[in-house]
Structure 1
C-alpha cells in the first residue's frame, strides 16, 4: 500500500470513472486498475465494484474512504509545514466563482496574493452557482464564491461582501440622464435579463414581481459581459451588480442609475465544505481574501499583515 494507490482510490471515489482518473493523472486506464488491485490485495478487500457501465464504491470502500482522505491531507500538510518552516508556503488552491464575482471582486486580490505567495498556485474557474455547490461537495474545488447563498448540508457559507443592484442604460435611452429611478418608471421597458436559473435573475424577478412591474424581456444571457454589450447597443435596459459596470461608467459608454424605494443589496459568500480540514494554502487564501475585502482598496502590504 502506498500514497499513489490511496490518491487514485480517493479520486475514483469522487469521479467514479477509471477513464477520468487516468486522464487526470496522465497515465493509462490499465495502470489505474493495477494500482487499485494492488491496494485491494494489500487490504484483503474489494473496494470498488466495476461493471462495463459503472463504477461504485463497495461498503468496504466507503468504510475506509474518510481515513484515506485524512491520510492524504496529513501527508500534504507535512510537506506544506516543512516548506513553511523554511519561509516558503507552497501548494494549490482550487477556486470556482460566478462570473460577476470572479472578474470584478477578485480581480485586484489575485495578483497581490500571488505576488506575496508565488508558490501557492491558484486555479480559478467560472461556474454557475448550482455547479459550485456540487463541486464543493464532490471536493473538486476548495473554495466557492457565489451571490445569494443558500443553506446546503455539508457546506459552510462565510459572508464576504455585499454589492448593490443598479439599473444600467445606453447613452441614448430616455432614462440615462436620471440619477435615480423607481421600479415603476421602467414598467413595460425593453429589458435584458440574466438566465432564469441564475440567483441574481431570481432576485431581480422577485424585486419586480413584488411591485407588480412587468418588463419586456428582449434577451437573456448568463454572462454579464454579454448583457452589458446588449445594453450598450441600446437593445434594452438591465439590472446588474454595481461593481460589474465600473469600467463602462468611467468610459462613458453606459449610465448607472440607482434604484430607489427597493432593497437592492446582493450578498456574496465564500463556500467551503464544513466537514473537511483544509490545507494551509487554502486556509491562508480565505483568510487573506476576507482581510483584503475589509480594506476594499487594499495594497500588497495588507496581505502581509
Structure 2
C-alpha cells in the first residue's frame, strides 16, 4: 500500500463516486480507478460494490476506513508541521547570552521575534562569555551571544554590533555639560569599576594610567545595570557598555561619549557543527535589524 492509494480510498468513501473522488484529488477518473484497483489487489479483498451507479463500501471497507482516516490525519498533521517549520512558525531556540546583552536587551529582542513567529519556543540563559562558548562547543545550546574580544577560542560567529563604552554621570554632575568626557575630566572622581576578572577593567585602567589620571576606586560590580543604579544614587561615575545605556530606564543619569574610545563588540555564535537552520538565520537577522533600529549611531564604534 502507498499513501496515494489510501487517499483515493478515502476520497471514494467520502464522494461515493470515482468521479467525485478524482475531482477531490485533482486527478483523472481512470487514475482514481487504477488506484482503487491496485489497493484492492494489494490487500486481497474488494472494497466497493456498485449499486445503481454508486460505489457502496463493503463492511470490510468501512472497518479499514476507520484506520485509514486516523493514519491520514496523522500524515496531514505532519504536513502542517512541515509547513510551520518552513514558514518559521514552529521550532525551538536555546540561547545562551552574556549579561551585558542578556539581562534586558535580549529579552526585548526575543519578545519582538516571538510576536512575529507564533509557535516558536525560546529558552534564554545568561552566562559569562567564556561559559557561553563552552555551551556552544558542547552543543548544549543553539545560539550564543558573547562580548568581544575574549581570550577563549570561539566557534563561528557573526558580529552583531561594535559599540563604544560611555561615561555614566549623575544627572546633576557638572560634567554633564561637556559633549565628550576624557580621562583628565575624571581625575579624583569616585569611580565605579568592573572587578579585575572582567576584561574591560584592564582596558579602562590602562587608559587612565597612560594619561596619568588617578581615580577614587571604592565600589566594584561585574554588571553594568547595578553600576548605573550606583551612578544614579550619586555614588560615583562609571564607564559602561552602550547596550546597558540604551536599556537603562532611570532618569537620574546622563550618558556621554568617552575618548579615547573603548570598543566593546557583541557577536552571535552559530552552531559549530552542521548547517545553520532557517530559524537560526531568521533570529540572527531579526536581532541585527532590532539593533539597527534601537541603538543610536552615537553609541557605536567607528574606527
Which band: TM-score by shorter chain? 0.5 to 0.7
The Cα shift of 1:176 comes to 3.5
Residue 267 (structure 1) aligned with residue 262 (structure 2): no
- Aligned partner of 2:287 in structure 1 is 289
Aligned residues: 218
For 1:153 and 1:220, the matched residues in 2 are separated by 28
Q: Relative to 1, partners in 2 of residues 1:147 and 1:233: Cα closer, same or farther, differing over 3 Å? A: same
Residue 280 (structure 1) aligned with residue 278 (structure 2): yes
5+ residue gaps in structure 1? Answer: 1-77, 298-305
Q: Relative to 1, partners in 2 of residues 1:109 and 1:132: Cα closer, same or farther, differing over 3 Å? A: same
- Aligned partner of 2:298 in structure 1 is none
SS in 1 for 2:284: helix
The Cα shift of 1:269 comes to 1.0
For 1:202 and 1:279, the matched residues in 2 are separated by 38
For 1:82 and 1:230, the matched residues in 2 are separated by 50
Residue 237 (structure 1) aligned with residue 237 (structure 2): yes
The Cα shift of 1:243 comes to 3.3
Is the 8 Å Cα contact of residues 129 and 198 (structure 1) preserved in structure 2? no
Is the 8 Å Cα contact of residues 171 and 253 (structure 1) preserved in structure 2? yes
5+ residue gaps in structure 2? Answer: 1-77, 296-303
Which of the two has higher C-alpha Rg?
Answer: 2
- Aligned partner of 2:252 in structure 1 is 253
Please, which moves more after superposition, 90-99 or 272-281? 272-281
Q: Relative to 1, partners in 2 of residues 1:181 and 1:123: Cα closer, same or farther, differing over 3 Å? A: same
For 1:154 and 1:224, the matched residues in 2 are separated by 24
- Aligned partner of 2:218 in structure 1 is 218
TM-score scaled to structure 2, two decimals?
A: 0.62
Is the 8 Å Cα contact of residues 96 and 127 (structure 1) preserved in structure 2? yes
The Cα shift of 1:104 comes to 4.8
Q: Relative to 1, partners in 2 of residues 1:80 and 1:237: Cα closer, same or farther, differing over 3 Å? A: farther
SS in 2 for 1:133: helix
Is the 8 Å Cα contact of residues 154 and 274 (structure 1) preserved in structure 2? no
Is the 8 Å Cα contact of residues 164 and 262 (structure 2) preserved in structure 1? yes
The Cα shift of 1:241 comes to 1.7
TM-score scaled to structure 1, two decimals?
A: 0.62
